Amino acid sequence: GENVEQHPSTLSVQEGDSAVIKCTYSDSASNYFPWYKQELGKRPQLIIDIRSNVGEKKDQRIAVTLNKTAKHFSLHITETQPEDSAVYFCAAANFGNEKLTFGTGTRLTIIP
């Protein structure tokens, strides 16, 4: 089955700086890679996703890159703000099966 590794587990960044979170996956059949943000005591919410036929996707301050050959993908947050503080999860899925496998999460703290 799919195995998703996520690094780092914790990340502290000065406000205004950039944050990068990296994930690797094991199943070459995976073709969909979403990122979820979970604030304290809240539900995970989708913030951006990318399909395997695309190498990069951007949405304002967040971007995701995908390297299919190396089987890794990354989340980039620029100009970080205090409200970016949360736990971020990457995930991988294959449209052929009904399963979304999550990484272990990264606790991002933005230092004012």
Partner 1 sequence: DTAVSQTPKYLVTQMGNDKSIKCEQNLGHDTMYWYKQDSKKFLKIMFSYNNKELIINETVPNRFSPKSPDKAHLNLHINSLELGDSAVYFCASSQELSSGRSFKAFFGQGTRLTVV
Binding residues vs partner 1 (CB under 8 A): 32, 34, 38, 42-46, 49, 87, 89, 93, 95-102, 104-105, 107
Extract the tokens encoding 19.
């944050």
Name the residue nearer to partner 1 (CB basis): 13 or 100.
100
Minimum CB distance to partner 1, residue 18 (Å): 23
Instruction: State the residue for tokens 């089955």.
Output: 1
E strands in 26-93: 32-38, 45-51, 56-59, 62-67, 72-77, 86-93
Name the residue nearer to partner 1 (CB basis): 40 or 112.
40
